[in-house]
Amino acid sequence: MAPHAIRIIGDPVLKQKAAEVTRVDGALAKLIDDMFVTMYDAPGVGLAAPQVGVQQRFFVYDYDDEPGVILNPVIVESRGEFEFVEGCLSVPGLSWEIVRPAEIHVKGYDLDGNELDLELDDYPARVFQHEIDHLEGVLLVEHLTEEQRREARKALRELRLRNAGPLPEPEVAGRGLRLP
């Protein structure tokens, strides 16, 4: 049994912007350990704090057997375009082809307070962009094209009934990159 239940689309916590981490203590370290267990149990390659109901800016990840955590991540630069089939533990069972920048330059901090300065591309860049979106209260459904969104409404109906939450609408029309 995973330590945390992963919040599912419709849960308002997933739409809130998370606050900066200002304090690293034993409670945070324990939470992070539990988030790794929850992520591996799912299984997934990334899990952001809001997905377990914690409004703080950090996420855990492991896409190449090198587990990591980044606090207060910021994308300082992004380049290119990359289309990739993307899913989310908070939108279980569904995935869509989504275009995002191919390369990103990310800054943040590790648990010891050291600054992280990362150049990422392809899959790692995708994972980081997805998780950083969670810290902004943005789910992947907000990156869908109009056509994908119409199909998503049908697919999400079952989830919506199960979770009794509202179907999320994009905050801003055309947010993110448009498909051609």
The backbone region for 164, taken as left when phi is positive above 0, alpha when psi lies in -120 to 50, beta otherwise, is: left
Give the count of beta carbons closer than 10 Å to the beta carbon of residue 33. Answer: 13
With binding defined as CB under 5 A, does residue 159 bind Zn ion? no
Give the integer Cα–Cα distance in Å for 142 and 133.
10
Does an H or E element contain 65, and which?
A: none
Site for Zn ion in 82-141 (CB under 5 A): 88
Residue 89 CB, shortest distance to Zn ion, in Å, is: 6
Compose the 73-92 pattern: x for residues touching Zn ion by CB under 5 A, - for all others.
Answer: ---------------x----
| DSSP code at position 173 | T
Site size toward Zn ion, by CB under 5 A: 1
Q: Which is nearer to Zn ion, 31 or 91 (CB)?
A: 91
Residue 130 CB, shortest distance to Zn ion, in Å, is: 5
- Evaluate whether 175 touches 143 at the Cβ level (below 8 Å): yes
Give the integer Cα–Cα distance in Å for 40 and 125.
20
- Catalytic residue list contains 86: no
Q: Which is nearer to Zn ion, 21 or 134 (CB)?
A: 134
Residue 25 CB, shortest distance to Zn ion, in Å, is: 26
Determine which one of 20, 115, 131, 171 is catalytic: 131
Give the integer Cα–Cα distance in Å for 144 and 169.
11
Residue 90 CB, shortest distance to Zn ion, in Å, is: 5
Q: Which residues are designated catalytic?
A: 131
Which residues of the chain form contacts with Zn ion (CB under 5 A)?
Answer: 88
